[in-house]
Amino acid sequence: MQREFIYALSDSIGETAELVARATASQFDLSRFDIIRVPYINSVHQIEEVLQAAAGTRSVVCHTLVSPQLRAAMTELAQVHGVHTIDIMGPMIQGVQKATSLTPKLQPGLMHKLDQEYFRRVEAVEFAVKYDDGKNPWGIPKADIVLIGVSRTSKTPLSMYLAHKRVKVANVPIVPEVPPPQELFQIPPQKIVGLIIDSYKLNEIRTERLRTMGLGPDASYANIDRITEELEHAKTLMRKLQCPIIDVSNRAIEETANKILEIVRKGGPQGGSNENPA
What is the per-residue pLDDT across 222-252, written as a single tens digit (0 to 9) for each? 999 999 999 999 999 999 999 999 999 999 9
Q: What is the CATH number of domain 4-108?
A: 3.40.50.2300
- What is the reported pLDDT for 265? 80
- Counting every residue written for the chain, the total comes to 278
111-266 and 4-108 share a CATH fold: yes
Residues of the chain with pLDDT under 70: 1, 109-115, 267-278
Cα(158)–Cα(264) distance, rounded to whole angstroms? 14
Distance CA 278, CA 269 (A): 17
The pLDDT value recorded for residue 112 is: 62
CA 43 from chain centre, in angstroms, equals 33
What confidence score (pLDDT) does residue 269 get? 45
Answer whether 163's CB lies under 8 Å from 119's CB.
no
Tell me the CATH architecture of domain 111-266: 3-Layer(aba) Sandwich (3.40)
Q: Of 22, 64, 74, whose CA–CA distance to 43 is shortest?
A: 74
> For residue 113, what pLDDT is reported?
63
| CB 275, CB 245: distance < 8 Å | yes
212-243 residues labelled b (16+ CB within 10 A) or e (exposed): eeeeeeeeebbbeebbeebbebbbebbeebeb
> Hey, where are the domains in the chain?
4-108, 111-266
Instruction: Provide the pLDDT for residue 211.
Output: 87
